[in-house]
């Protein structure tokens, strides 16, 4: 009696198993890669703002709509446009201690690290208006040079200088990771 082994069915079974293993490995790699993408790319807050800058009455920023932002993690940055000539590369971080928000009849600071927590606005919500009084406009464009020149009154790029009337500045809100939340152009008014 002679027994023969039938090897014809072995090849397709091994081929299917190899394809299954390759598919599982590819699925694991794609899953791992896409999981990394979602954890790193958190959606940045977005909002629409309207701003005004008046040399005689101060600056206002109106939250027109969008996300509520945390004022403790949000900075206000101003910069001149090409209206000011070659100074459009300059940037100033607005001193957040002079920015105020009226919250239910109580004036609170945008962010003042030296103030008690109850004195801080903490959020900037749709419909609210943040403002800087005329007396504090020098803190919108604070001194950046050691020569003692007050940048806000510079004849070349100072927002408080009469030469700046009618020129545009850019006002941006930026979160702590550097992502822009909102940006608008503002015309310097008398």
| Structure confidence at residue 112 (pLDDT) | 93
| Structure confidence at residue 67 (pLDDT) | 94
| Structure confidence at residue 44 (pLDDT) | 74
| Structure confidence at residue 37 (pLDDT) | 58
Residue 60's Cβ-count burial label (10 Å; 0-12, 13-18, 19+) is middle
Is 159's pLDDT higher than 60?
yes
Distance CA 86, CA 99 (A): 28
Beta strands in 55-155 (DSSP E): 58-66, 69-70, 74-80, 92-93, 100-103, 106-109, 123-124, 129-132
Domains, the chain, with CATH or none: 47-189 (2.60.40)
pLDDT tens sequence across 90-149: 999 999 999 999 998 899 999 999 999 889 999 999 999 999 999 999 899 887 665 556
| Structure confidence at residue 1 (pLDDT) | 61
| Structure confidence at residue 131 (pLDDT) | 97
Residue 101's Cβ-count burial label (10 Å; 0-12, 13-18, 19+) is buried
- Torsions phi, psi for 19 (to 5 deg): -65, -40
- Torsions phi, psi for 187 (to 5 deg): -90, 130
| Structure confidence at residue 151 (pLDDT) | 77
| Mean pLDDT of all residues in 171-180 | 94
pLDDT tens sequence across 54-102: 999 999 999 999 999 999 999 999 999 999 988 888 999 999 999 999 9
- Tokens representing residue 60 in the block: 């206002």
């Amino acid at each position: 009696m002679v027994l023969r082994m039938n090897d014809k069915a072995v090849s397709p079974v091994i081929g299917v198993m190899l394809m299954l293993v390759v598919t599982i490995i590819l699925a694991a790699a794609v899953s791992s890669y896409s999981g990394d993408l979602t954890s790193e790319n958190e959606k940045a807050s977005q909002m629409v703002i309207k701003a005004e800058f008046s040399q005689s009455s101060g600056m206002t920023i109106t939250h027109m709509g969008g996300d509520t932002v945390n004022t403790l993690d949000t900075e206000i940055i101003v910069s001149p446009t090409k209206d000011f000539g070659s100074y459009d590369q300059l940037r100033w971080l607005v001193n957040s201690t002079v920015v105020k928000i009226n919250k239910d009849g109580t004036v609170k600071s945008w962010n003042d690290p030296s103030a008690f927590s109850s004195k801080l606005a903490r959020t900037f919500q749709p419909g609210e208006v943040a403002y800087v009084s005329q007396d504090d406009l020098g803190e919108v464009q604070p001194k950046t040079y050691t020569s003692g020149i007050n940048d806000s009154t510079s004849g070349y790029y100072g927002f408080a200088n009469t030469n700046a009337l009618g020129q545009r500045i850019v006002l941006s809100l930026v979160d702590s990771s550097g992502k822009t939340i909102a940006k608008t152009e503002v015309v310097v008014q008398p």
